[in-house]
Homo-oligomer: A and B are copies of this chain.
Amino acid sequence: MTIRSLDDLGAVLREFAAEREWERFHTPKNLAMALTGEAGELLAELQWLTPEESESLTPAQRERVTDELADVLNYLVRLADVLDVDLLAAADAKIARNAVRYPVETARGNAEKR
């Protein structure tokens, strides 16, 4: 199956888990841990780089970073699937709230949290 959307990805991951009888491991709690563990591996790839170096990755670094991004996405999509959360709708709603929280005029050039 060619994966063309988050829905496709969710379906593929659901089948991957089912075939291996991994559903009992895939509680939201456990998947949140797995997701964060992969985010930690992403950090490890970038931790000693300057911000500028992180913008000009070597091919080997880029491949490892891409691999970690894939791991994060896969656990994120699997987690949303077991919770029956629509990720794109949630992202859309969050952006709408952030647009109110960080109006263009006051947020310009300033990344401070509110």
Contact = CB atoms under 8 A, between A and B. Distances in A.
Interface in A1-40: 2-6, 8-9, 12-13, 16, 19-22, 25, 27-30, 32-40
Contacts of A73: 76, 87, 90-91
Interface string A57-88: 10000100111011111101101101101011
Interface residues of A, number: 78
Interface of A: 2-6, 8-9, 12-13, 16, 19-22, 25, 27-30, 32-52, 54-55, 57, 62, 65-67, 69-74, 76-77, 79-80, 82-83, 85, 87-88, 90-95, 98-99, 102, 104, 107-109, 111-113
